[in-house]
Amino acid sequence: MLRPDVPLVNIDHHGSNSRFGSINWVDPGSASVGEMIYDIILAAGGGIDHDIALGLYVSVMTDTGRFSFSNTSSRSHRIAAAMIEHGLKPAEIARRVYADKTLGEMRLNVECLATMKFSPDGRVAWARLTREMYRKTGTSPRDSQEYVEAVKSIHGVDIAILLRETEKPGHVKLSFRATDPLNAAEVAALFGGGGHPRSSGATLDGDADTVETRVVQAILQYVRERPNTGNNK
């Protein structure tokens, strides 16, 4: 725990950041925190070794959704390329971050996808993970953070929701993904959360059924008030 007399430097690229630090550098125009740290290193005249390059590359890769989010810029790719020059192996990094799954994690994914539900127009889809699923598959909530991507990948889905029961009863974590012009950060803000326009999250207290009903109803209303992206045609 930080001592109260120690200044806290807050570096972030989420527009929803509450500026909680003693020093705050919040740049929603940056695609990743890694790009911001890269700028600091250059401005300070510091060097980049293999370990630093690895951290920066993973930050850029994950914050841009494997270079697939709309925030991905040519600069994101240039910085990633510069990091690769330090001897990184992109295929190996991607495998270790995204593809090195246990059998239990794959079974958990199957359990999760089996719970999927859709709004009548197909624009909203959601799935749930329960403590019983984690127990059954020998996994934990941290093993399932990317499962919302599978829900979002379905044709016609503009907003995907993943509800994850935590180890603490009555505590549900929410993950959101949205297609432009819908805004996942706006969705998360409805529940006191935040994040990117394409990717965000929040946490709510309550039993899973009550939380699901509340969240889905609020998001259906949000979508009804905004134009159809055309993805479900």
- 32-41, 92-101, 142-151, 158-167: least confident range: 142-151
More confident position, 100 or 21: 21
Question: Model confidence at 231, in pLDDT bands (50, 70, 90)?
Answer: low
Least confident of 28-32, 99-103, 202-206, 215-219: 99-103
- Is 172 within 8 Å of 161 (Cβ atoms)? no
Q: Which H or E run includes 175? A: strand 171-178
d(C-alpha 228, C-alpha 216), whole Å: 17
**What pLDDT, on the 0 to 100 scale, is given for residue 233?**
40
State the pTM of this model. 0.77
Q: Which residue blocks in 31-138 are alpha helix, DSSP H?
A: 33-43, 50-63, 74-84, 90-94, 103-113, 131-137
For 160-190, write each residue's pLDDT tens digit: 999 999 888 899 999 999 998 899 999 999 9
- pLDDT score recorded for residue 70: 80
Checking if the pLDDT of 115 tops 90, the result is yes
Q: How confident is the model at residue 71 (pLDDT cuts 50, 70, 90)?
A: confident
Q: What is the per-residue pLDDT for 146?
A: 81
Query: pLDDT value at position 230?
Result: 58
Look up residue 95 and give its DSSP letter.
I
Domains of the chain: 9-97 (3.90.1640.10), 103-224 (3.10.310.30)
Of 32-41, 78-87, 136-145, the range with the lowest mean pLDDT is 136-145
| 56-69 pLDDT tens trace | 999 999 999 899 88
Tokens read off for 55 = 């951290």
* Sign of the CA dihedral running 60, 62, 65, 68: positive
Which whole number is the average pLDDT over 32-36? 95
Predicted pLDDT of residue 76: 96
The percent of residues in the chain predicted with pLDDT above 90, rounded, is 70
List the single range of 51-55, 78-82, 168-172 with lowest mean pLDDT.
Answer: 168-172
